[in-house]
Structure 1
Amino acid sequence: MKVFDGFQKGVDLGGWLSQGSYDRAHLDSFITETDFEKIAGWGCDHVRLPVDYNIFEKEDGTPVGDGFELLDKALAWCEKYSLNMLIDVHKVYGYSFYSGDGENGFFDSEALQERYYKLWQRIAERYGRYPERVAFELLNEVNDKEFSARWNAIAKRATELIRPLAPTTKIVLGSYWNNSVDALADLDMPYDENIVYNFHCYDPFMFTHQGADWVDEMPLDLRLDYPGDINDYRLKAKETGLTRIQDYLDVPESGFDASYFEKRFIGAVKLCEERGVALYCGEYGVIDRADPIQILAWYKDINSAFKKFGIGRAAWNYKEKDFGLSAERMLPVIDELVKYL
């Protein structure tokens, strides 16, 4: 399978330019140069940098420069510490992966899609000159399968508009069901040789999101072990109704281990081999309700599959957002865990 060179081991910087405050005090302090130095010290080769439209334009679409000033700063720090940068447009006007953001209408509005294309043209004009250091992710986590055909058309048009400005920049594409590995086959055939297929992995979901207050039907007091007993997962899934998120019936009695992740990824690997594209996992991680020792065990297993297939990846999340790897509670295991990012 083709390899996503320069983007094999990374972390997400969620909560800085996306999913956080847009106040200047936050933007100037949440992530600093010291954080890029630490990430490089973890042996990473890149950061995935989620960004929201709010830092690039006003509510009416009028462009502002704050977002580019901050991206320029991030790119300079990346250069200083030998890191590459994936710019991930996490939220656009009219669409967010999180319904609580109140964004809607993007997939049904040509006007909003044109606004989105203009944002990407602005980004490509500024960063398309760094194809070895900067990659573009067109949109984070399309939710519903019903958007599949429209998303393919939007992604194709965005790529067509980006290419005159960034002819060889890697463009990263995910599919519906929140970038599910099971939905990649419904992406269009790659538009050119610089397309990368992207998925997110939070399996087994009831472990990685145990007690998550933003997940419907998730009990706040739910706790499950990893690797744990598969029968406990099946029982809890049935009791809570969370079977709609992940079916545990196809997991063998031996439960979760590295081979579980290999089986989850093998279909996507074969698809990418057939289509001649690289494969990237833009998000994977475990919520801070889980025990750090068990989080470490999970990272070891999923990393084994990533390494076996040559899948590039970025762990969610470097700081806060309920998944923070740099949190004090992770200190007993972080030196060992970063070997398995």
Structure 2
Amino acid sequence: MRNELLRPLAALLLLAGCGDGSGGTPVSSTPTSTPTPTPTATPTPTPTPTPTQSFPYTPIAALTASVGPRLPLGKCVNMGNQLEAPNEGDLGRKIADSDFPFIKAGGFDTVRIPIRFSGHAATTAPYTIDSAFMSRVQHVVTTATNAGLNVIIDMHHYDEMNDDPTGQLDRFVSMWRQIATTFRNAPDTVWFELLNEPKNVLTNSNLLNFYNPALSAIRETNVTRSVIIGGGLTSNIQSLATLKMPNDPYVVPTFHYYDPFEFTHQGATFITPTPPVGVTFGSDTDYANLSADLNLVTDYYTRTGRVPFIGEYGAYEDIPLDQRATYYGAVSHAFASIGIQSCAWSYVNTFQLRDSSGWITEITDLIATTTTK
């Protein structure tokens, strides 16, 4: 917010003396001097404090996993609509090398990089990923790690896999074998995410039939690297209830959170039909539903001993800024209050957290994480 400063004007009054005109001999008088008024000091304005929001949730330390690893995510942001576009730049600006030091300086610890490998791989065996595209991915990941960030390499927008997983299995496994070989010497702060938001034919009942072969291909060259999996139904929070985990000690569960959808995606033209605008967030009902969802995750942790994280959450960029800020703050604080870390969607393209002037601090200042990583 910007403040208007009002500056008072001091007015000086000039006093004039008058002579006596009685018609007799003029009487001379000694003029009396008028004292110079002391100027009034202009008061120093008091700055208006930046408005803050409070939420009914207090972050705690990150949960400790008794089964599998817990990723030290910290504060995390998605590099949305960049490398998962059909071609980088089709859905907004490309990734710049300078982005990663900027993100690190902004207090973030992790970037999740959605990547459309399937759009750059052959459709016949051996399903070779285009070398120029793979080199670009390598460069981006290396630049991010050199800036001190953790990196999630996420296979994104593999729509063919959702529609025909059996027919795509060999290609899915081959792509992961190539990715794993490329990054076999990457630091252990680089993590693989097998498939973004499984849906349609892919369900929790059959996911392991496709995850396990890809995981085996990864383990040929990356024995202990953390690998992330999400459940069906686009990995929504309810998917945790029946998500089956591979028999692998280095696998981490994830879920996505865009509830209530009618708020987070209102006006988003890429949704058919487009959800109507004018929906607000922050009612007692909204917070009651959010708290109920926290119970779902707490139940999952109690039952499995595993610590999941939110891979995506956010609110569409055309929603009024104050409402977006409330949502990002409420969701991140809420899950941090049960020891769960989260990754906001997204950096500069759609649902953006940065514009041409820098971070949209009305939002990013409210994003919370756990008190430990």
Query: TM-score normalised to the size of structure 2?
Result: 0.73
CA distance in 1, matches of 2:304, 2:245: 7
Residue in 2 that maps onto 1:277: 306
**Which range moves more in the overlay, 36-45 or 87-96?**
87-96
Structure 1 unaligned residues grouped into runs of 5+: 97-103, 229-253
Task: Give the total of aligned pairs.
Answer: 301
Question: What does residue range 209-224 of structure 1 map to in structure 2 within 5 Å?
Answer: 209-219=265-275, 221-224=276-279
CA distance in 2, matches of 1:281, 1:10: 10
Residue in 2 that maps onto 1:41: 105
Q: Given the alignment of the two structures, is residue 324 of structure 1 paired with residue 352 of structure 2, yes or no?
A: yes
TM superposition shift of 1:327: 2.6
| Native 8 Å contact 1:45 1:84 kept in 2 | yes
- Letter of the 1:222 partner, please give it: V
CA distance in 2, matches of 1:52, 1:338: 28
CA distance in 1, matches of 2:118, 2:246: 30
CA distance in 1, matches of 2:72, 2:176: 22
Question: What does residue range 4-83 of structure 1 map to in structure 2 within 5 Å?
Answer: 4-18=70-84, 20-22=85-87, 30-54=94-118, 56-60=120-124, 61-83=127-149
TM superposition shift of 1:213: 1.9
Residue in 2 that maps onto 1:200: 256
**Which range moves more in the overlay, 210-219 or 76-85?**
210-219
CA distance in 2, matches of 1:32, 1:142: 29
Return closer, same or farther for 1:206/1:171 CA change in 2, 3 Å cut-off: same
SS of the residue corresponding to residue 286 of structure 2 reads coil
TM superposition shift of 1:140: 0.6
Structure with greater proportional helix content: 1
SS of the residue corresponding to residue 91 of structure 1 reads coil
Structure 2 unaligned residues grouped into runs of 5+: 1-62
Q: Given the alignment of the two structures, is residue 141 of structure 1 paired with residue 197 of structure 2, yes or no?
A: yes
Residue in 1 that maps onto 2:208: 152
Question: What does residue range 92-107 of structure 1 map to in structure 2 within 5 Å?
Answer: 92=158, 94-95=160-161, 104-105=163-164, 107=165
Residue in 2 that maps onto 1:89: 155
TM superposition shift of 1:26: 6.4
CA distance in 2, matches of 1:38, 1:155: 35
CA distance in 1, matches of 2:92, 2:233: 33
TM superposition shift of 1:336: 2.1
SS of the residue corresponding to residue 208 of structure 2 reads helix
CA distance in 2, matches of 1:93, 1:204: 24
Deviation digits for residues 140-162 of structure 1 (CA, Å, limit 9, x no counterpart): 11123763333221112211221
Return closer, same or farther for 1:83/1:146 CA change in 2, 3 Å cut-off: closer
Q: Given the alignment of the two structures, is residue 264 of structure 1 paired with residue 319 of structure 2, yes or no?
A: no
Return closer, same or farther for 1:310/1:172 CA change in 2, 3 Å cut-off: same
CA distance in 2, matches of 1:270, 1:297: 26
Q: 1:315 aligns with which of 344, 350, 356?
A: 344
Residue in 2 that maps onto 1:296: 325
TM superposition shift of 1:255: 1.8
Deviation digits for residues 199-239 of structure 1 (CA, Å, limit 9, x no counterpart): 000011111101122323434x42211215xxxxxxxxxxx
Quote the RMSD (CA, aligned, Å). Answer: 2.7
- Letter of the 2:224 partner, please give it: T
Percent of counterpart pairs with the same letter?
Answer: 25
CA distance in 2, matches of 1:208, 1:308: 21
CA distance in 1, matches of 2:135, 2:147: 19
- Letter of the 2:341 partner, please give it: G
TM superposition shift of 1:21: 4.2
- Letter of the 2:196 partner, please give it: N
Q: Which runs of 4+ in 1 moved over 6 A?
A: 25-29
TM superposition shift of 1:194: 1.2
Return closer, same or farther for 1:336/1:176 CA change in 2, 3 Å cut-off: same
Deviation digits for residues 264-302 of structure 1 (CA, Å, limit 9, x no counterpart): 132233323432322111110000121111111111211
Residue in 2 that maps onto 1:108: 166
SS of the residue corresponding to residue 95 of structure 1 reads helix
CA distance in 2, matches of 1:309, 1:211: 31
| Native 8 Å contact 2:208 2:245 kept in 1 | no
TM superposition shift of 1:189: 3.5
Return closer, same or farther for 1:29/1:115 CA change in 2, 3 Å cut-off: same
Residue in 2 that maps onto 1:128: 184
TM superposition shift of 1:338: 4.7
